[in-house]
Structure 1
Amino acid sequence: MKNQIGTKENPMALQTPPQTSSYTMHVAEKDGKEILVCTVGSTVLHYDIRCINDLHEMLKQHGDWMELGSADEQKPAKEGTVEAWGRSESNPVGGWYGLKKGFRGRFGMYVPPLMEALGLVELEHNPKNNRMRAK
């Protein structure tokens, strides 16, 4: 799977769920662990690579569509959304999947299109309030 995501030299090109912005994602190593590196313009976010399998498993158990609810780290996430799960103490990592303090949010914006590209989920592409579900 990580080979499909790309490298720093050849990252995967993606679009946000509403398909209004482009960004890239690739796998890198930091402190001996594999991470996802998401580059949006000049902003670089890092996510624990476990989020792909963990989110897919949670969505399979959920069994239905789930709202993305993307929000910056400084803003609260709407309950019952992918974003809220991505920072919840009850998820498999016990908190944030985002790894860079100050840039840990937007999980619900940038991880779902990656999972769609990997064939793991169905994702809506409406102007707002998009949802995803496991395939």
Structure 2
Amino acid sequence: MKDKIGTKANPMLLKTPPQSSEYTMHVDEKDGKEVLVCTVGKTILHYDIRCVNDLHTMLKQHGDWMNLGSADEQKPAKEGTVEAWGRSEGNPVGGWYGLKKGLRGRFGMYIPPLMEKLGLAEITHEAKGNKMRAI
């Protein structure tokens, strides 16, 4: 899976769920651990690479569409959304999959398109209120 995501020299190009903005994703190493590096303009976010498999497993168990609910770290995530799960103490890492303090949110914006491109999920592409489900 990780070899499909790309490298710093050759990152994967993705679009946000509404198809309104482009960003890149690649795998790198930070503090001895593999991480997803998400570059949105000049902003760089890091996510625990485990999030891809963990989210896929959770969505399979959920068995239906789930709202993405993307939100910045400083804002609360709507309950029952992918964003809320990505920062919940009840997920497999016991909290945030986002690793960069102050920029740990937006999990529901940037991880679902990666999973869609990897063939693990499908997402809707509306202007607002997008959802995803496992394939």
Task: With the length of structure 2 as denominator, give the TM-score of the two structures.
Answer: 1.00
Unaligned 5+ segments in structure 1 are: none
- Structure 2: how far apart are the matches of 1:120 and 1:126? 19
Distance apart, 1:47 and its partner CA: 0.1
- Structure 2: how far apart are the matches of 1:62 and 1:2? 24
Distance apart, 1:126 and its partner CA: 0.4
State the Cα deviation string for residues 32-84 of structure 1 (Å, max 9, x = none): 10000000000000000000000000000000000000000000000000000
Q: 5 Å matches for 1:53-68?
A: 53-68=53-68
Identity %: 81
The 3-state SS of whatever aligns with 2:108 is helix
- Structure 2: how far apart are the matches of 1:109 and 1:4? 20
State the 4+ residue runs in structure 1 displaced beyond 2 angstroms.
none
- Name the structure 2 match of 1:31: 31
- Structure 2: how far apart are the matches of 1:45 and 1:9? 17
Unaligned 5+ segments in structure 2 are: none
Task: With the length of structure 1 as denominator, give the TM-score of the two structures.
Answer: 1.00
Distance apart, 1:101 and its partner CA: 0.1
